[in-house]
Amino acid sequence: MLGFLHKRGQKKCTQAPLSIILELPRNKERIGAACTMNFTMDLPGLKGVKVTKMEEREDFIALHVEMPRTPHRCPSCGERTERIHDYRIQKVQHLKLFERWVYLFYRKRRYACRCGKRFAEKACFVERYQRQTVEWNQAFRLRLIQGKNFTDTANQFQTSVTTAMRRFDQLAAPPREEGGSPSSSDCD
């Protein structure tokens, strides 16, 4: 518990990580006071992302995130649209926070254009079809180069040895010149 009654009539609140509002309800048997606090913290790799909810689960932290609503350009006809078709929840693995793994539950918007095309919004922290954030991938690739073997590195990042070997092979491969990932100008 992040906040508790210290002595009768006194209250003690500790700082909570991320954007959390902590409220202690009044108890009829004890004299208490409600404690509300806001705490803002920028997380690496999540610039411009809105954290809507945070849950501490047994072995990881779950962050429910979404991007601010902005007009997007249709990939088919090029027209800008703000019309939302639907939302999807995408579970994305992120780096550790306070020695606990963080999973992002990204509420991804899908837009609908007048031409009939449906497309997902651009997100800078996760590439298309990926289950790990860009920051996670950077840390993982760095550890693959510096680590002693694929098995230890895969265990440290809670992924399979096959994924470790595939990502290592991608480091040696020449970069593709397709427009699949968002550019840095899209993310600022």
166 falls within a domain = yes
**5 inside domain:** no
Mean pLDDT of 67-82: 93
One domain for residues 82 and 56: yes
Under the banding of pLDDT at 50, 70 and 90, the label for residue 84 is: very high
Judge whether 34 lies within some domain: no
Split at pLDDT 50, 70, 90, the class of 174 is confident
- End-to-end CA separation in angstroms for the chain: 37
Exposure of 179 in the CB half-sphere (CA atoms within 13 A): 3
In a domain, 12, yes or no: no
Structure tokens at 60: 């990881």
Pair 55, 118 in one domain: yes
Is 77 within a domain? yes
**Residues spanned by the domain of 168:** 132-173
pLDDT, greater one: 30 or 178: 178
Whether the pLDDT of residue 28 is over 80: the answer is: no
Q: Which of 142-146, 155-159, 181-185 is the least confident region?
A: 181-185
Q: Is residue 148 part of a domain?
A: yes
Hey, which residues does 14 pair with through a beta bridge?
Answer: none
Beta bridge partners of 63: 54, 104
Strands 100-112 and 60-66: parallel
Q: What single letter denotes the amino acid at residue 46?
A: L
Here the contacts of 136-142 (C-beta below 8 Å, separation 24 or greater) are: 136/45, 136/93, 136/94, 136/95, 137/167, 139/95, 140/164, 140/167, 141/167, 141/168, 141/171
Residue 103 domain flag: yes
- Split into its structural domains, the chain has a count of 2
The yes-or-no verdict on residue 50 having pLDDT over 80 is yes
Q: What is the mean pLDDT of residues 157-171?
A: 93
Determine the Cα–Cα distance for residues 61 and 76; give it in Å rounded to an integer: 38
Global pTM reads: 0.70
The answer to which of 27-41, 127-141, 158-172 has the lowest mean pLDDT is 27-41
Does 34 have pLDDT greater than 60?
A: no
65, 106 Cβ separation under 8 angstroms: yes
Per DSSP, the residues of 59-73 read SEEEEEEEPPP--EE
